[in-house]
Amino acid sequence: MREIFKQLFGNERIKSTLGESIERGTASHAYIIEGPKGSGKHTLATLAAAALSCENRSDAGFALPCGVCPVCGRILKGISADVITVSKEDKASIGIGKIRSIREDLYVTPNDSDNKVYVIEEADLMTPQAQNGLLISLEEPPAFVTFFLLTENSEALLETVKSRSVTLRMELFSPEKIKEFLVGHSSSAISGPGYNERLIRAVDLSNGSPGEAKRIFLERENNENDVVENSRSLAAHLISGKTSDALESVAPFLSGGIETSRKMLTAVSSYVAAMIRYKKAPATVNSNLLTSEEKETLRSVSLKRMISVFDMTVEALELVSSNVTPKTAVYDLIFKCRK
């Protein structure tokens, strides 16, 4: 069977109804796409725009959109002049001015494809005046125009706007499905320590929205990378006794709670341990583990000092685990390492 909107997770009903009507050339001229943040509204609008103009749209031998013809290639990359996105930008609402400019542009024929698509983001933020202004365009647009009104809440749109559009509701997913989505969309590079915890957290907080789940999952990922990267510089600052640099590097993480501090201190202790091993026998340490700058710093630091920094780090870690606030334990560590 022909693959329709394959980049969109789930949403089989939308895929078959909208996809087939595009295939047959019977698509409506106005759609409301409703769903919470991260549910795939933009993805669907982009795929539908590409499908509408795809050169292979009536050839079932290709996916829909095919993704290989130049027209849908441009649309999928977001560089087609025929897909016009309208948003509130820095305003609180979408006013009549924006709608007027749509109306002025409406009858201008498409640039490089058969169709022109207007995507109105946060369509519920159109003022009533703007919605009324849009009505005529929704009612009788030129044959080559399709509107996609994206919204988290279609109830906020005027009845008259709703009655002139086909409403598509994005599918929300069970925790099992969200997990399946995340596992299918995460590269092997982002597995590793804490992977399962991150997965569970993202599933729990996503409210069934795949895009939101992915965002939370990756945010956590970036945060963990930051913690590790930061621990590295903290270790170097502790060794060299640079109090103000050390304070600066921990500042963003002290608000991260006990778990973050524990991870940070654990990472610091492993870096310091690696430095100690390097000092004792350079050949035993993987040459990429320490930067040349770090190695240079270590020349002027005694082994005794490094061991004492290591011990103090482990002590701070124990304090955090025994309910001393992370801030107290980490500051205490930094001041003890002062030179």
CB of 34 to Zn ion, least distance (A): 27
CB of 65 to Zn ion, least distance (A): 5
Q: State how far the Cα of 140 lies from the Cα of 14, in Å rounded to an integer.
A: 24
Q: State how far the Cα of 221 lies from the Cα of 195, in Å rounded to an integer.
A: 9
For Zn ion, the closer CB: 76 or 130: 76
User: In whole angstroms, how far apart are CA 23 and each of 2, 10, 15?
Assistant: 11, 19, 11
Residue pair 271/232 in contact (Cβ under 8 Å)? The answer is: yes
Q: Which helix (H) or strand (E) holds 86?
A: strand 83-86
Name which position in 22, 27, 69, 76 contacts Zn ion (CB under 5 A): 69
For Zn ion, the closer CB: 56 or 269: 56
Residue pair 280/257 in contact (Cβ under 8 Å)? The answer is: no
For Zn ion, the closer CB: 83 or 275: 83
Site stretch for Zn ion (CB under 5 A), options 15-23, 62-70, 102-110, 198-206: 62-70
Q: In the stretch 70-99, what mask flags binding to Zn ion with x, by CB under 5 A?
A: --x---------------------------
User: In whole angstroms, how far apart are CA 249 and each of 233, 244, 253, 334, 336?
Assistant: 7, 9, 8, 11, 16
**Per CB under 5 A, 64 contacts Zn ion:** no
> Which region holds residue 327: left if phi is over 0, alpha if psi is between -120 and 50, else beta?
alpha
Name which position in 14, 66, 168, 182 contacts Zn ion (CB under 5 A): 66
CB of 70 to Zn ion, least distance (A): 8
**Per CB under 5 A, 235 contacts Zn ion:** no
Residues 30-59 that bind Zn ion (CB under 5 A): 54
Q: Which residues bind Zn ion (CB under 5 A)?
A: 54, 65-66, 69, 72
